[in-house]
Amino acid sequence: MTQGAGFIVPDWSVPMGVRTLVTTRAGGVSLPPYASFNLGDHVGDDPAAVAQNRARLRACLPTEPTWLAQVHGIVVADADQASGVPEADAVVARGQGAVCAVLTADCLPVLLCDDDGSVVAAAHAGWRGLVAGVLEATVARMAVAPSSIRAWLGPAIGQGAFEVGDEVRQAFVTADPGAAAAFVPGAVQGKWMADLFLLARRRLSQAGVHRVEGGGICTYTDAARFYSYRRDGRTGRFASLIWIES
């Protein structure tokens, strides 16, 4: 990924006219524990600081992003028609300049587009969303052949830091026995270390999306660049964004 002041441009093969961006925690005005480029307006940060951070981001975009009220579900909003702040965990866009965005701080952001650059999407995929089918719902809402879709997995908590209970493993394995490969025993009996990136790749593959790039950047261990709820508790959120250039 190519990094600038407060921003990262994902290094993945997208068609001409599709643009992507990931923010970092640098380059904003928020004070600790949200320092400094927090874009989440629901985490206890000073609203004025969040507004200023969002204004700095907006200056790099063609339009204001379609911000979501994320609830770890599978609802997919439409950036071309949305008003206000939709309660959803993914968003699609076909119109030029309509910006799809998701906020994360350990959950997995997934950016998607088709080969023609005619539709783009962003999904917020924590373990609850993954097991419920948020990626499958996003692919379906894009309404193009899944084989024409390419995806990029953004920064998320890595397997070495993501301890979950047996009920989480069982939820995935019940739906997909092969998902067992994404879990290794933790230090405590009954606990497992989960690989969100592998789980997402399996879900995308089962939905017909086989060209998947990215993955492997851990928010928990990269404290200089990314927020991590598991690491810090009270913390900010960074954004992953995709749009079709005007």
- For residues 28 and 211, is the Cβ–Cβ distance under 8 A? no
What is the rounded distance in angstroms from the CA atom of residue 165 to the CA atom of residue 194? 10
Q: What is the pLDDT of residue 45?
A: 98
> Which of 161, 153, 218 is CA-nearest to residue 194?
161
| Average pLDDT along the chain | 96
Over 90: is that where the pLDDT of 57 sits?
yes
Pick among 3.40.395.10, 3.60.140.10, 1.10.1060.10, 3.40.190.10: CATH of 2-244: 3.60.140.10
Phi-psi region of 178 (alpha: psi -120 to 50; beta: other; left: phi over 0): alpha
Q: How confident is the model at residue 4 (pLDDT cuts 50, 70, 90)?
A: low
pLDDT tens digits, residue range 98-152?
A: 999 999 999 999 999 999 999 999 999 999 999 999 999 999 999 999 999 999 9
The C-alpha angle with vertex 231 and arms to 228 and 232, in degrees rounded to 5, equals 80
% of the chain exceeding 70 in pLDDT: 98
H or E element in which residue 241 lies: strand 238-244
Q: For residue 81, with 0-12 CB atoms within 10 Å meaning exposed, 13-18 middle and 19 or more buried, which class applies?
A: exposed
Break the chain into its structural domains and give their ranges: 2-244
What residues form DSSP beta bridges with 66? 100
Phi-psi region of 10 (alpha: psi -120 to 50; beta: other; left: phi over 0): beta
Amino acid (1-letter code) at residue 57 = L
Over 70: is that where the pLDDT of 5 sits?
no
